[in-house]
Structure 1
Amino acid sequence: MSMATGSAGRHRPRAALFDLDGTLVDTNYVHTVTWWQALHQHGHDVPMARIHRAVGMGGDRILDHLLGPEHDHRRDDALRDAHHALYATWFDALPVLDGAADLLRALAARGLRVVLASSASADEVAAIRAALDADDVVAAATSAADVDATKPAPDLVVRALELAGTEPAGAVFVGDTVWDVRAAARADVTCVGLLTGGVSRAELAAAGPVTVYEGPGALLRGLDASPLAGREPAADPAATS
């Protein structure tokens, strides 16, 4: 198993940084469908499997990834607006993953600063925070307006570190996609992976998180033996499921 850089496996971290979509809320497939609808409205036939594998990238990157860098960029804003409008219809019904809010509360109770690190739009982040109903333990949150380049660039993780008031060695990033893992690695932050985004264990583990859990509930149950408690990860990622 590949090990991400950082020293949170040896020292108790000061901050827990969390991706949102697919990590705390079960929305990766909602994004997949609404991106497919937006693309279809504008004459693009992109298989949902390809879209799903791109979820986790920021809106500044996903269209180049799906349509190729040479596509006609004049309709990019319209495509992003269409996706946003379709996704916004879910704002009042965003499904929170089992154990997500309890995990945030448990970490805050242990003295960690909880920072939500997302490149979603401000209103998407607000809708997710409302669904989580855990703002009393959230120290800070990012949105698309906070960075120039989104995942897999490290900018978002670096900004989350600034908001947490800690160095890379003092934080652990929790995410569900390979884009999360790569962004954390580029920021020199230890990353814990979750399978709730729909990425296979093998693919996620190969990207380089220190360990992989089934979801936030499993991480909560294994918190005392996790990198978030300053422990070395389990040797076998399947053991943490």
Structure 2
Amino acid sequence: MRVGYGGGIPPNIGEGDRAAGADGIRENLDPSWLRGDPPWVDLFTVWLREAIEARIPEPNAMVLGTVDADGHPATRTVLCKGADAAGIVFFTGYDSDKGRHLAANPYASVTFPWIALERQVNVRGRIDHVGMEETHAHWFNRPRGSQLSAYASEQSRPIGSRTDLEAKAAAVAEEFGGFDDGAEIPVPSDWGGFRLVPTVVEFWQGRANRLHNRVRLTLLDDGWRAERLQP
């Protein structure tokens, strides 16, 4: 099933910015939009804010792609917990599938699929561990229930039933004094943050008749290069 991108009549050749896209935004994404240091940050920040303002569900959700030790790819959706000039941050168990993949191949790709706005941003680059100070700051800002679940879960490991999983969580809650209140829950030794340090960032904007706009930034030895790509 193919989803339409609006407008059965193609825009006139040469209309450029005057040709309204299927999303109703007349301005066409252009390499000149990419400014700042590094040049992807400003536009990414604007698009993320607009996704939040549009009330898109989980606007900070991103599809994370990794490759295991045998060269097999895997994807899953995770939540972005930080985005600035240093890179894109997320948190997980180090012994999870993605944690083991990143230990074997410390490179990854993430895609923010803001489909309702007909926008995507893809970021690729190496993976670094987030420092303990940043990990602790994030952990102790999480709701207590999320802390308990992360502490109880041996992420990506098999378990017999939902009842068994809930029993593990209840045992951890009892150990620390309850679900709603009790002793401080420490950061698990096998849990923490990763930062994707970008070397490639691509912005995608949907247009009518699938004549989409793509602009890619690539980090070279002498700095960032921006170029328009054919859809």
Q: Same fold (TM over 0.5)?
A: no
TM-score bracket, normalised by the shorter chain, equals under 0.3
Larger RCO, structure (CA 8 Å, separation 6 or more): 1
Normalising by the residue count of structure 1, what TM-score does the alignment of the two structures yield? 0.21
Task: Give the strand-richer structure, 1 or 2.
Answer: 2
Larger Rg: 2
